[in-house]
Amino acid sequence: MRRRVVVTGLGCVTPLGNDVERTWAGAVAGRSAIAPITRFDASGFGTRFAAEVRDYAPPALDQKFQRWLDAKAGFAVGAATEAVTDAGLGAVSPDRFGVSVGAEVSRPDLDVMAQRLRKFAVAGAKEAYRALDPREFVTVTAWHPAALLSCLFDARGPNLTTSTACTSSAQSVGDAARVIRRGDADVMLAGGCDRLVEELMVMGFGLLGALSTRNDEPARASRPFDRTRDGFVLGEGAGFVVLESLEHALARGARIHAELLGYGCSANAWRITDSPPDGRGARQSMEMALRDAGLRPDDVDYVNAHGTSTQQNDASESAAIHAVFGERRVPVSSTKSSMGHLVAACGAVELILCVRAIEAGLLPPTAHYEHPDPACNLDVVPNEARAAEVNVALTNAFGFGGSNGTLAVGRYRP
């Protein structure tokens, strides 16, 4: 018999707030966390705004770990600590406790890159080499957050890193659930982190034509499924959940937020940065998650869409949703309309919002929706939250490179 996997802890750091409740409250209110960039001078860029994490300080760590704490891992530590605290994890067998993190390689600041080049040009290679900080060669890696979290929480079980762009944390959670199902761990700390509001990323995504350029109205720039959408908005942050086998959770008397019912992942095999017009990979991912959960499309009460606010992605995802649900108008909303696109962290954060929707009986809206698009003919829960009984929710995450991940989460029933 397949082991059931339940969600017992939630934690996040986002542009809407540095914990779950503030993030949830902001998403439900449709509050925009998008504003002009403060981290660097963006006056010369085509896009001059983003969704930054503000007023955040990570938990203080023992010095042997503090030295390895960069901004991205700092988001992860804060979100993971909240999730572990929320789960009330006491004594857990270290060998049965694992970590699964979705993360990308850190991107260097352009000014820092230029300074290094000048060092090599002026001082010579040997002198410049001696001036480099060896910690940077660890903290820039994708696996660094997972390694740090395993040390902090004495998690000696499976340690996984997934790096599939925007799909990373959705797949990290799905893979963690599979670890528990097959009996390789009883508890998994799973999620993702990213820090994108940097010069190189704003420049790069701008060159790709993927970013909104609504500089005169940044707070309303992320408008998924709206006909006037013109690109996504860079965000940053982290989201983590504690997953446990049902038996382990019940044995320790844990509060159960929800049950992770199913997981599907696929590849578009189309183009590197484009989504197929028919949404084939997204459709496959959703169908796999439903099949894994033993559910039918009619069982789903809400879909938290990937909904990036780009012309192509939103139309492709809409086609996939229509293909899966047919004529049924299942409520679909994109919370990226409030907090921007957290890339490697978005799947886990949006899973947390699905869990809160189940608990609160409330669907967060798609903010800034004003102009219906015939190519995205969905019930997008426009502009205002909606009271609804949610027993089953899907959350989608689709990444650059063509990766897709869908998680199915439901109300826990003994």
User: What is the reported pLDDT for 206?
Assistant: 94
According to CATH, the topology of domain 5-106+141-410 is Peroxisomal Thiolase; Chain A, domain 1 (3.40.47)
Residue whose pair of structure tokens reads 């994108």 in the numeric block = 196
Pairing of strands 187-195, 97-102: parallel
122, burial (CB in 10 Å: exposed 0-12, middle 13-18, buried 19+):
exposed
Determine which one of 12, 144, 166, 346 is catalytic.
166
Q: Which of 172, 159, 86 is nearest to 403 (CA)?
A: 172
Q: Where are the domains of the chain?
A: 5-106+141-410
Residue 27 near residue 16, CB atoms below 8 Å: yes
DSSP state of 408: E
Start-to-end C-alpha separation, the chain: 16
pLDDT tens for the chain, residues 1 to 414 = 789 999 999 999 999 999 999 999 999 999 999 999 999 999 999 999 999 999 999 988 888 888 888 899 999 999 999 999 999 998 899 999 999 999 998 766 556 656 666 666 665 666 655 556 677 777 788 999 999 999 999 999 999 999 999 999 999 999 999 999 999 999 999 999 999 899 989 999 999 999 999 999 999 999 999 999 999 999 999 999 999 999 999 999 999 999 999 999 999 999 888 899 999 999 999 999 999 999 999 999 999 999 999 999 999 999 999 999 999 999 999 999 999 999 999 999 999 999 999 999 999 999 999 999 999 999 999 999 999 999 999 999 999 899 999 999 999 999
Determine which one of 144, 248, 341, 368 is catalytic.
341
User: What is the reported pLDDT for 105?
Assistant: 85
Single-letter amino acid, residue 85: T
Residue 258 near residue 6, CB atoms below 8 Å: yes
Question: Rounded to whole angstroms, how far apart are CA atoms 173 and 157?
Answer: 15
Is 166 noted as a catalytic residue in this protein? yes
Residue 180 near residue 99, CB atoms below 8 Å: no
User: What is the reported pLDDT for 126?
Assistant: 62
**Max Cα-Cα span within the chain:** 68
Determine which one of 306, 346, 354, 368 is catalytic.
306
User: What is the reported pLDDT for 139?
Assistant: 78
User: What is the reported pLDDT for 387?
Assistant: 98
Question: Rounded to whole angstroms, how far apart are CA atoms 87 and 351?
Answer: 16
Q: Which of 9, 359, 54, 3 is nearest to 236 (CA)?
A: 54
- Cα–Cα separations (whole angstroms), residue 141 to 175, 243, 331, 336: 20, 25, 38, 26
Is 322 noted as a catalytic residue in this protein? no
Question: Coil, strand or helix: which one is 259?
Answer: strand
Is 368 noted as a catalytic residue in this protein? no
Residues 6+ apart with CB under 8 A from 178: 263
State which H helix or E strand residue 407 sits in.
Answer: strand 403-410
Give tens-digit pLDDT for 170-223. Answer: 999 999 999 999 999 999 999 999 998 999 899 999 999 999 999 999 999 999
371, burial (CB in 10 Å: exposed 0-12, middle 13-18, buried 19+):
exposed
DSSP state of 89: -
Residue whose pair of structure tokens reads 């010579």 in the numeric block = 124
Q: Which of 164, 155, 159, 151 is nearest to 176 (CA)?
A: 159
Residues 193-231 as b/e (b if ≥16 CB within 10 A, e otherwise) read bbbbbbbebbbebbeeebbbbbeeebbbbbbbbbeebeb
Inter-axis angle of helices 20-29 and 346-360, nearest 10:
80
User: What is the reported pLDDT for 63?
Assistant: 85
